Structure 1
Amino acid sequence: MNLAMIQAAATRLQGHARHTPLLSAPLLDRIAGRRILVKAECLQWTGSFKFRGGWAAVSALPVGTKGVIAYSSGNHAQGVALAASRHGLSCVILMPSDAPKVKIANTRAYGAEVVLYDRAGDDRDALGSTIAEERGLVLIKPFDNAEVIAGQGSIGLEIAQDFEDDAQVLTCCGGGGMTAGVALALEGRMLVRPCEPEGFDDTARSLISGQRERNAALSGSICDAIVTPSPGELTFPILQRLCGTGLVVTDDEVQRAMALAFEHLRIVIEPGGAVALAAALFRPELPDTVIAVASGGNVDSALFAQVLSRYGA
């Protein structure tokens, strides 16, 4: 992985991915006691940054590729499904049966065949490998794929283009694909820090111990989009080399961040996509200026209504 790969992916993304804005609101700054800029990837195609990695990986496949397979709780699923559809490729997506209904429905709407599995009991890696071999499909992993990481890294290139001052960049982190890509894109420019939900802070713990730690559970957080077993094999060495210490937030703080983003920025962020903003708002140890990546907005309407009812103004 290097900057040249990210730049090449960004070139292939031109005309296909949206250059998302950096948003701000004085009242958010007042609540946090610092300047906050929000990179609104919730406005990206398919509602999350995952479209970047999906397009980058699919567009790099050799001519003659029959189709692709991916596994995801929903955002990577939609990104790969739309990219495969626009390239005329068949697509199979493995999704946990407890994934938000809107993500399952949208993945099917983008033309993918959805295969549901039990998040706690099934081995998705083994299942994905079996289907890929039987059908002759190329497996596109959600974060342990160099082209996916490169595509996500285009977020960092846009941040560098749109903001020239000093800031720390906070990213929502599951397996670390976006965090690794952004850190590579911003190497020597801005420090990137991964943000995770309480109880699923495998990256934060791994950065402390120096080895890939695992979460004790694979479910139980409202932040389904970034609940992963452990940091990726490809991503963790990059995180070790380039990232600052991890930040951990509670589900309560995440939901408060979702409500505040809607109230002051008028954007919809899903729980897993609001973790970085929650850290920006509620962690006192951060510097005067931070950029929080709002990584996705694919939240079930019923859950979002509950969050606004409980935490809104």
Structure 2
Amino acid sequence: MSLSLADVLAARRRMAGVAVHTPLVPSPFLSARCGQNFLLKLENTQPIGAFKLRGAVNAVFGLPAEANGVTCCSTGNHGRGVAYAARARGLRAVVCMSSLVPRAKVDGIRALGAEVRIAGRSQDDAHAESRRLAKEEGLVEISPFDDPLVIAGQGSIGLELMEDRPDLAAILVPLSGGGLAAGVALAAKAIRPDIRVFGISMDRGAAMHEAMRAGRPVEVEEVPSLADSLGGGIGMDNRLSFPICRDHLAGVVLVTEEEIYRAMQALYFEDRLVAEGASVVGAAALLAGKLPAFSGPVATIVTGRNVDMAAFTDVVCGRDIQLGDYLVKGSAYGS
């Protein structure tokens, strides 16, 4: 199975009127740190507050008329997108999630009319439940990252980036299962083969990074993270997102929980943005000095705003954050 720019263009037509063309805005603070124009692609302005709407709408709207329902596993935003799209089509939606998913994301999905099943303590456990529902109840399973329609839908972000700033030298993409990175890289490099696309992930439980190092999908331990949306494996039978990321990404950069913490503060105080931990990993990599030098403008994708506001308030106020058995020591911004 292969994907091309034509699939991404078809996805954009299918999503028209549901997913929006989001703003691309400069960050003066991050531009000063980068030495080049540093731009923020504000996917947190999508109707569900996250980029996942794109792939979910393309997949759900692409189902045959006789489909009677959908299921998926999710760390939060994919489930929200599937719930939103299923409600628009009048379909039943069952979203499977692990106990690590923040309560705010669970509640957000239920508010869109979907059923939520909590299964185990990992994305792999949630995936097993989703597959069971597909087999036993005849629901159509929509992968959060290894589905051609999902990847093509996420790829529409790459189209918009290249249309809005054809002079981009690089794109920094939050990296989890690879659906977003695969779609963006596929689209952007089809238009500009020399553009560099980097995946950015947390340094604990970075499944795609470990798979790319090993040359094949591998299992990783999922642990609590400020970047909770980037948790989970890529699937041992991954067909699409792994090979596309392997072949099209210029590299993967890992950031620590402390670097994510400081980037969440920076985007709030400098750019006035409420952003999930997963959304700020590109900024975190820049602020930590982990990126190469660039010869032109750089964009990163602010992937979502669906953060637990109590935890977010703790971060911006400089309080300690407990992530399972790992303590992120707080500090006031700028100290």
- Same fold by TM-score, threshold 0.5 exceeded? yes
Identify if the C-alpha distance between structure 1 residues 230 and 12 changes in structure 2 by more than 3 Å, giving closer, same or farther: closer
**Count of residue pairs brought into register by the alignment:** 312
* Helix, strand or coil at the partner of 1:48: coil
- For residues 205 and 98 of structure 1, do their structure 2 counterparts lie closer, same or farther at Cα, with a shift above 3 Å needed? closer
Could you say which residue in structure 1 is the equivalent of 2:7?
Answer: 5
Distance in 1 (CA, whole Å) between partners of 2:63 and 2:264 is 37
2:333 is matched with 312
Fraction of identical pairs, as percent:
38
- Give how far 1:220 is off: 2.9
Amino acid at match of 2:286: A
Per the alignment, residue 214 of structure 1 pairs with 219
Question: For each residue in 1:79-130, what CA deviation from the matched residue of structure 2 results, as whole angstroms up to 9, or x when unmatched?
Answer: 0000000111111110112211111111000000111112249733332122
What is the aligned partner in structure 1 of residue 294 from structure 2? 287
3-state secondary structure, aligned to 1:186: helix
Q: In the TM superposition, what is the alpha-carbon distance from 1:221 to its structure 2 partner?
A: 2.1
**Structure 1 residue runs of 4 or more that deviate by more than 4 Å after TM superposition:** none
Change in 2 beyond 3 A, CA 1:200/1:126: closer
User: Is residue 203–residue 230 contact of structure 1 (8 Å, CA) maintained in 2?
Assistant: yes
- Alpha-carbon RMSD across the aligned residues, in angstroms, is 1.7
Aligned positions of 1:141-290 closer than 5 A: 141-188=143-190, 189=192, 190-215=195-220, 217-230=221-234, 232-282=238-288, 283-288=290-295, 289-290=297-298
Aligned-partner residue type, residue 285 of structure 1 = P
Match of 1:27 in 2: 29
- TM-score, normalising length from structure 2? 0.88
Tell me how far apart the structure 1 counterparts of residues 247 and 226 of structure 2 sit (CA, whole Å). 30
Worse-superposed segment, 148-157 or 159-168: 159-168
Please name the residue that 2:130 is paired with. Answer: 128
Query: Contact 1:280–1:290 at 8 Å: present in 2 too?
Result: no
Is the 2:118–2:126 contact (alpha carbons within 8 Å) kept by the matching residues of 1?
Answer: no
Q: Offset at 1:308? A: 0.5
Distance 1:121 1:173 in 2: 15
**Residue type of the alignment partner of 1:223:** A
Q: Contact 1:167–1:191 (CA<8 Å) still a contact in 2?
A: yes
1:207–1:245 Cα contact (<8 Å) kept = no
Q: Could you tell me which amino acid in structure 2 is paired with residue 88 of structure 1?
A: G
- Give 2:313's aligned amino acid: A
- C-alpha distance in structure 1 between counterparts of 2:99 and 2:213, whole Å: 33
Residue ranges of structure 2 left out of the alignment (5+ in a row) = 319-331
CA distance in 2, matches of 1:124, 1:109: 20
Following TM superposition, by how much is the alpha carbon of 1:274 offset from its aligned partner in structure 2, in angstroms? 1.4
C-alpha distance in structure 2 between counterparts of 1:235 and 1:175, whole Å: 7
For residue 96 of structure 2, the aligned residue among 94, 97, 109 is: 94
Q: 1:54·1:79 contact (CA, 8 Å) conserved in 2?
A: yes
- TM (norm. structure 1) is 0.94
State the Cα distance separating 1:284 from its structure 2 match.
Answer: 4.3
Pick closer, same or farther for the CA change 1:221–1:301 going to 2, 3 Å. Answer: same
User: What is the match of residue 45 of structure 1?
Assistant: 47
Q: Give 1:65's aligned residue.
A: 67
Instruction: Give the match's secondary structure for 1:166.
Output: coil
The residue aligned with 2:325 is none
CA contact (8 A) 2:100 2:122 kept: no
Residues 1:120 and 1:67: Cα distance change in structure 2 (over 3 Å): closer
